[in-house]
Chain A
């Protein structure tokens, strides 16, 4: 049921508070509600932090409890947590949310145009397939054909979305 546990070395994401948005490693547990926490590579000083504001990630580091900051840093850099974090979907979603909030009016327009174009392409292909399917009559090949070509469509879609994101940047 539970996959992520509070343990020494667990990397946690701080969801609110003064250090919101940063990653820390749990160094020690103080009591039921607080942990000693340290984020040498993310700019968080070694401090006590309530569990409530932490959200556990999938990463665990290896260092003994109450290890000093240098050890935590070494472990962090050895595991390359910063890069691994940036590659997770979680971090990407956060980034996308931030970008969306920063969109200016012009950017919103450009995204709208890109989306429209993409949807048009998809619809076009779908219609083509539907026409083919209806022409050939009630043959069992219908569902297969409609599913397979969608994947190359997705590749095109992602290209459009990337364009939109680049435009946003």
Chain B
């Protein structure tokens, strides 16, 4: 009954609109087209309420076929049905592939399935996990940077082989780590990543406004590389892995490119070079919580 009311209501409305349309065709040609567009928009916007009254939750009064008629879906066909020729012409993804096979009498090639059936079905199904919310993977985490750390700040590294060294901050990388450089000639710290938490930010800043840092210095550039192809040989597994880290030419050239720009600015500030060369240390009577950095 509720469903029936609404089509009834809509009908007289449509009639009224029709009257308006015809009545006002005369004044200007622009207006009816606009109004037609407006009305079309309105027509599209007005979604009809459900034409299938609810008997109980999940149970409607009319069957699928009855609803087909009630919704007039026979009038609402937007794509033509696929003909048999089109179906045949449709490209299916490849199911098998032909691979060469070695050996003398093996016939040269085999036909291999690309998507194979699973080789193991567990006896018990894995239970469905409950929906969680806001648990993002690391790559989508929000990266924060302390307000005291801005490009050009002198940082004191606290961990790692360069602990205690004072170093110039360049920028924050995609994973949140800080890109930092000695510069190399001053304190033997190369372009390196440092963690924000293990660093003291001093209030000393170098003006790095015009310095251009090459764009290829990202986390992938600095990530440690590990070889994984020992070919299952029992002996000499440890030799094949990179024991010694070798400085590539690219690193050297990048270091030079960045450092040359920064060194010029460091020279302008008196005593800054010596400051960067020195290391930070605590002694008697020096308490970090009382120091102003």
Which of chain B's residues 257-288 have a Cβ closer than 8 Å to chain A? 271-272, 274-275, 278, 280
CB-defined contacts of A102 to chain B, threshold 8 Å = 292
User: Does the CB pair B204–A106 fall under 8 Å?
Assistant: yes
User: Does the CB pair B280–A105 fall under 8 Å?
Assistant: yes
CB-defined contacts of B203 to chain A, threshold 8 Å = 104-106
Closest to B203 in A: A104
User: Does the CB pair B271–A113 fall under 8 Å?
Assistant: yes
Q: Is the interface of A mostly helix, strand, loop or mixed?
A: helix
Chain A interfacial residues counted at CB < 8 A: 9
Q: Is A73 an interface residue (CB 8 A)?
A: no
Closest to B280 in A: A105
Chain B interfacial residues counted at CB < 8 A: 16
Q: Is B293 an interface residue (CB 8 A)?
A: yes
A103 and B272 CA atoms in complex are apart in Å by: 16
Q: Is A90 an interface residue (CB 8 A)?
A: no
User: Does the CB pair A109–B292 fall under 8 Å?
Assistant: no
User: Does the CB pair B292–A106 fall under 8 Å?
Assistant: no
CB-defined contacts of B290 to chain A, threshold 8 Å = 101
Determine which residue in B166, B278, B292 has the highest number of CB atoms from chain A within 10 A of its CB, and name it.
B292
Kindly provide the distance from the CB of B150 to the nearest chain A CB, expressed in whole angstroms.
15
CB-defined contacts of B275 to chain A, threshold 8 Å = 106, 109-110
CB-defined contacts of B293 to chain A, threshold 8 Å = 104-105
Kindly provide the distance from the CB of A113 to the nearest chain B CB, expressed in whole angstroms.
7
Determine which residue in A102, A104, A109, A110 has the highest number of CB atoms from chain B within 10 A of its CB, and name it.
A109
Residue of B156, B278, B292 touching A103 (CB-CB under 8 A): B292
User: Does the CB pair B204–A110 fall under 8 Å?
Assistant: no
Q: Is B154 an interface residue (CB 8 A)?
A: yes
Residue of A101, A110, A113 touching B292 (CB-CB under 8 A): A101
CB-defined contacts of A101 to chain B, threshold 8 Å = 290, 292
Which of chain A's residues 96-135 have a Cβ closer than 8 Å to chain B? 101-106, 109-110, 113
User: Does the CB pair B204–A105 fall under 8 Å?
Assistant: yes
Q: Is B202 an interface residue (CB 8 A)?
A: yes
CB-defined contacts of B166 to chain A, threshold 8 Å = 105
A110 and B293 CA atoms in complex are apart in Å by: 14
CB-defined contacts of B272 to chain A, threshold 8 Å = 106
Task: State the A residues within 8 Å of B (CB).
Answer: 101-106, 109-110, 113
10 further contact pairs, Cβ within 8 A, besides A105-B166, A109-B271: A103-B292, A104-B293, A105-B204, A106-B202, A106-B203, A106-B272, A106-B275, A109-B274, A109-B278, A113-B271
15 intermolecular pairs with C-beta atoms under 8 Å apart: A103-B292, A104-B203, A104-B204, A104-B292, A105-B166, A105-B202, A105-B291, A105-B293, A106-B202, A106-B204, A106-B272, A106-B275, A109-B275, A110-B271, A113-B271
